[in-house]
Amino acid sequence: MSSLLGLKKDDRRTILAKKIQLETNHGMLDLLFILILLASFAISALIIVMIGARVYQNVTVEMQSNFDLRIPLSYISTKVKQHDAKGAVQLMTKEGIEVLVLTSLENQTSYETWIYAYHNQLYEVMVKKGEQVAIADGMAILPLQGLDLKMDSNKLLQVTSYNKAGKKLDLFLNIRSD
C-alpha cells in the first residue's frame, strides 16, 4: 500500500480495482475447482453403483436361469430313482399332454404319480391306479417354461427343460430295473 502513496489518486484507484478483480477471479477459480471435484466424485460414485447393480442383476439372472433349468430335472431324477422298479416308469399321453407315470405299491394298493408340464408349471398328482383324474386337478410344484419327455428304447428316459431365455438342458436317466 505504501508503494501506492507516490502515485496519483486516479492511478491508485485503477491499481486497487485491478487487485480486487484479480482476487475475485482467484476465488471464482477455487470455487470452480471444488465444484468440478465434487461433480467428478458424484459421477464416479454413480458409475460404481451402476456397475454393482449390473453385476448383481447378472448374477441373479444367471442363478434364476440355472434354477429354472436344473431344479425340475433334479426333481424328476429323484422321483424316477425313487420309483425305479420293473415296469414302474412309463410315459403316457393324457389329455394331449405327455405325462411321466410312476407306479408304486403301498399297503397292497397300486398308486400312480403323474408328473407333467401344464400352464408353465411342473405339476404332480398321485392317484389310485385306474382312477380318472383331470390334468388340471394336479398340484403345481415349480415354475417351468417347457418340458419334453422321451423314452429311448424303453431304458433311457430323456428329460429336457426350458427356461424363459429359451435355454434348454437335457438329462438322460437310466431306468435300471427294466
The residues binding other proteins (CB under 8 A) are 30, 33-34, 37-38, 40-41, 44-45, 48, 51-52, 55-56, 58-59, 62-63, 65-66, 69-70, 73, 155-156, 167, 169-176
From the list 78, 83, 88, 61, the residue with the least C-alpha distance to 167 is: 61
Residue 30 beta carbon to other proteins: minimum distance, rounded to whole angstroms: 6
Give the residue with the Cβ less far from other proteins, 33 or 140.
33
Report how far Cα 69 is from the mean position of its chain's Cα atoms: 11
Q: How far apart are CA 122 and CA 69, in angstroms?
A: 12
Q: Give the SS3 label for residue 177.
A: coil
Pick the closer one to other proteins by CB: 20 or 136.
20
Nearer to other proteins, 37 or 139 (CB): 37
Compute the distance between CA of residue 174 and CA of residue 158 in angstroms, rounded to an integer.
9
What minimum distance in Å lies between the beta carbon of 26 and other proteins? Answer: 9
Least CB distance to other proteins at residue 138 (A): 26
Query: Would you give the DSSP letter of residue 83?
Result: T
